[in-house]
A = this chain, B = another copy of it.
Amino acid sequence: MKRIMIRVAYDGTDFHGWQYQPETRTVEGELNRAIKELTGEEIRVIGASRTDAGVHALGNVAVFDTDSTIPPERFWIALNTRLPEDVKVVASRETDMDFHPRKTEVRKTYEYRIYNSDIPNPLKRCDYWTVPYVLDTEKMREAAAYLVGTHDFATFCSVHTQAESTVRTIYDIKIIGGNNNEVIILVTGNGFLYNMIRIIAGTLVEVGRGSREPSWVSEILEGTDRTLGGPTAPPQGLCLMEIDYGDKV
């Protein structure tokens, strides 16, 4: 028995998110099925990020245990022949039997993609949020700076229980603009609350379009209350880019 770690890329458009649900098309469901077809083993993969419906990934991570003799570094190729076009495994290797992708310290990087134009672009509809207002990326940068560091991000969380901590650390936020009407928000942190990046994106757009001043973000962060924050940006702009476990696995 060994534990295999895979990196997974998917177009979230036609999935009801990552997490397995019977009778519903999910990324985990497709992976479980493909692994069963390949190895004959009944397996449920353990995912690092259980992304929502419509959210994409280029670098989600999952693990599963197998007795298969397929070389771990070749697993991804064998799995891809059994996976549909909208989900593919992009790397595989053996990892420690006690490695758990959600219980290990991590740096996650998400990209939130905005197509900033008042003219619709059908080729951007599935992986961008189209924002028709002129965005001031300098003001968005100024606002984003308040979010970097360790804070209680309760303002940027849709649903949470009292028992659960809403403290997280954001290491970096980059706002990349000026390219083909695109504004990219790149966020790296040690973990994110439910809808956190999408609320950050919705909040930064409020600032970028001039509805709010950058300092407003500092105020609402201190308020630790979801009702203070900006709207939740739509799922299709969000893409999980990378999960970095450093040298821990």
Q: Which residues of A contact B (CB under 8 A)?
A: 9-11, 56, 58, 80, 85-88, 90-91, 119-123, 125, 127, 239
State A58–B119 Cα separation when bound (angstroms): 11
State A11–B241 Cα separation when bound (angstroms): 24
Q: Do A120 and B86 touch (CB < 8 A)?
A: no
Contacting residues, chain B, for A121 (C-beta < 8 A): 9, 58, 88, 90
Give the top 3 A-B pairs by smallest Cβ distance, nearest first: A88-B120, A11-B122, A86-B122
In the assembled complex, how far is the CB of residue A57 from the closest CB belonging to chain B, in whole angstroms?
9
Interface SS of chain A: mixed
Closest residue of B by beta carbon distance from A11: B122
Closest residue of B by beta carbon distance from A85: B125
In the assembled complex, how far is the CB of residue A243 from the closest CB belonging to chain B, in whole angstroms?
16
Q: Do A85 and B11 touch (CB < 8 A)?
A: no
